[in-house]
């Protein structure tokens, strides 16, 4: 679309958050931070780029680090990467600062993955997330899942599906992976050839293939549930029990393994059934009992989730929920005299905490009134030559057709506006 050589646009897969959308974005952010902070989580904000090693721990073989990472070297030749996800960076922060446990934090911000954009997928995308570090109490798993649920409910989503699974501890994971690998190898002829090369290297990845030939094979594959240790099974039972007790509907999906290598025990995903696009996962998370140790910290369990803001809003669009909030302008100054009244009164109103605005450039009354109307303001304060001479202000209630325009002395106008807005005690 660039029309001249010197015009620019946002890079592929990125976009501007324009004022027409930003109020809704802020509102959904407030919903999330409200839910998280009511549950005792505090904000943690980590850098947008890190030593690339932080993210390699996610799993060298995963697409996220293998082929989607924005890697670069800084001017001192240090290998860095733009963060592709939140958990690893938060765990790095934990390992670095060693805060007291339980460490319950939330975060939100941009993440980067070098992928071809499509519906619900961007190169710069945004997530909300929480991490609860320091305990392997299964009730924390329940708490984390319940908070994600709460956010989804709070933005009005009805058509969400929670699926959960358990990966067991690291040991069961290894055992299962072996069993799965040999099963898949035995049946590799039936598997779609697109998936076949993953059998040996990443058998777990084969489980979430969408290809029907592959699915036919994996449907009869050994289930990870059969390999859980009794501790892992107890843990998972407690999680299921907790979700049931909180009235959160869920389905168990033995093939849910998720794309990052660090998961142990509980994994979960919320999908929007209102989204018809290929990407309908709105939130994903799980437990990662070995990750912090991987990052040089003490062995510490943790669990968390990431929620894609763009996808969340897409789901809201699909369900026609969570509309953009309206204007917050309360008062508009219309000054067709010399402009000084508008200048001074907006200042004074704002100092009282009132949202006040005005037009510039000495536009016509008609033009200024139109701006007042469009701003959504309740009240227009009008000052023309007459009012200037009389030291008065005309008050017009823009949202009430019945109301007659009134004239108030200039030195009473602030009090009158407060009264009209119901701000007087």
Partner RNA sequence: GUGAUCGUAGCUCAGUUGGUUAGAGCGCCUGUCUGUGGCACAGGAGGUCGGGGGUUCAAUUCCCCUCGGUCACCCCA
List the interface residues with RNA, window 186-225 (CB under 7 A): 194-195, 198, 205, 208-211
Number of residues located near RNA, criterion CB under 7 A: 74
Bridge partners, residue 408, by sequence: 393
Nearest to 311 by CA among 28, 30, 85: 28
Region 254-293 residues binding RNA, contact defined as CB under 7 A: 258-260, 269, 277-279, 281-284
Q: Are 208 and 218 in contact (CB under 8 A)?
A: no
Give yes or no for residue 106 binding RNA (CB under 7 A).
Answer: no
Give yes or no for residue 302 binding RNA (CB under 7 A).
Answer: no
Q: Which is nearer to RNA, 87 or 289 (CB)?
A: 87
Where does this chain touch RNA (CB under 7 A) — which range of 120-128, 217-225, 233-241, 319-327?
120-128
The one among 25, 80, 110, 115 contacting RNA by CB under 7 A: 115
Q: Which letter does DSSP use for residue 350 in this model?
A: H
d(CA 330, CA 375): 9
Where does this chain touch RNA (CB under 7 A) — which range of 22-30, 73-81, 171-179, 373-381?
373-381
d(CA 172, CA 169): 5
Give yes or no for residue 382 binding RNA (CB under 7 A).
Answer: yes
Give yes or no for residue 48 binding RNA (CB under 7 A).
Answer: no
With 0-12 CB in 10 A as exposed, 13-18 as middle and 19+ as buried, what is 50?
middle
d(CA 333, CA 371): 10
Q: Are 296 and 284 in contact (CB under 8 A)?
A: no
Q: Which is nearer to RNA, 2 or 245 (CB)?
A: 2
Q: Which is nearer to RNA, 10 or 351 (CB)?
A: 10
Q: Which is nearer to RNA, 133 or 380 (CB)?
A: 380
Q: Which is nearer to RNA, 172 or 209 (CB)?
A: 209
Cα–Cα distances (Å) from 116 to 5, 11, 132, in that order, read 24, 12, 32
Give yes or no for residue 367 binding RNA (CB under 7 A).
Answer: yes
Number of H helices, E strands in the chain: 16, 16
Give yes or no for residue 109 binding RNA (CB under 7 A).
Answer: no
What six digits make up the tokens of 113? 């993955």
Give yes or no for residue 161 binding RNA (CB under 7 A).
Answer: no
Smallest distance from the beta carbon of 233 to RNA, in angstroms?
25
Q: Which is nearer to RNA, 101 or 109 (CB)?
A: 109
Q: Are 421 and 415 in contact (CB under 8 A)?
A: no
The one among 387, 413, 417, 420 contacting RNA by CB under 7 A: 387
Give yes or no for residue 238 binding RNA (CB under 7 A).
Answer: no
Smallest distance from the beta carbon of 425 to RNA, in angstroms?
28
Give the SS3 label for residue 387.
Answer: helix
Give yes or no for residue 62 binding RNA (CB under 7 A).
Answer: yes
């Amino acid at each position: 679309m660039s029309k001249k050589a010197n015009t620019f646009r946002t890079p592929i897969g990125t976009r501007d958050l324009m004022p027409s959308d930003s109020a809704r974005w802020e509102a959904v952010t407030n919903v999330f931070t409200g839910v998280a902070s009511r549950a005792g989580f505090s904000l943690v904000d980590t850098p947008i780029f890190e030593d690339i090693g932080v993210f390699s721990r996610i799993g060298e073989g995963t697409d996220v680090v293998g082929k989607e990472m924005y890697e670069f070297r800084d001017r001192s030749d240090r290998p860095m990467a733009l963060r592709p996800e939140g958990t690893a960076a938060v765990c790095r922060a934990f390992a670095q600062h060693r805060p007291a446990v339980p460490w319950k934090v939330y975060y939100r911000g941009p993440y980067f993955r070098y992928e071809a954009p499509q519906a619900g997928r961007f190169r710069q995308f945004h997530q909300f997330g929480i991490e609860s570090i320091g305990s392997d109490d299964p009730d924390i798993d329940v708490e984390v899942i319940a908070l994600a649920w709460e956010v989804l409910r709070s933005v009005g989503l009805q058509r969400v599906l929670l699926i959960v699974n358990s990966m067991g501890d690291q040991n069961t994971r290894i055992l299962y992976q072996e069993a799965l690998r040999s099963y898949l190898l035995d049946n590799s002829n039936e598997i779609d050839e697109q998936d076949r090369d993953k059998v040996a290297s990443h058998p777990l990845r084969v489980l979430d293939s969408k290809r029907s030939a592959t699915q036919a094979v994996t449907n009869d594959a050994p289930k990870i549930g059969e390999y859980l240790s009794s501790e892992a099974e107890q843990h998972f039972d407690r999680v299921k029990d907790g979700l049931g007790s909180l009235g959160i509907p869920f389905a168990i999906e033995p093939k849910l393994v998720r794309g990052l290598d660090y998961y142990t025990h509980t994994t979960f995903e919320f999908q929007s059934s209102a989204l018809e696009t290929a990407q309908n996962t709105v939130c994903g998370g799980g437990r990662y009992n070995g990750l912090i140790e991987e990052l040089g910290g003490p062995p510490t369990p943790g669990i968390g989730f990431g929620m894609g803001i763009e996808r969340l809003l897409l789901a809201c669009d699909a369900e026609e929920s969570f509309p953009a909030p309206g204007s917050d302008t309360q008062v508009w100054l219309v000054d067709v005299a010399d402009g000084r009244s508008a200048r001074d009164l907006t200042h004074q109103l704002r100092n009282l905490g009132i949202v006040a605005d005005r037009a510039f450039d000495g536009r016509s009354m008609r033009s200024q009134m139109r701006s007042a109307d469009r701003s959504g303001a309740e009240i227009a304060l009008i000052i023309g030559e007459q009012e200037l001479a009389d030291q008065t202000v005309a008050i017009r209630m823009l949202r009430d057709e019945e109301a007659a325009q009134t004239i108030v002395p200039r030195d009473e106008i602030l009090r009158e506006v407060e009264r009209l807005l119901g701000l007087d005690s």
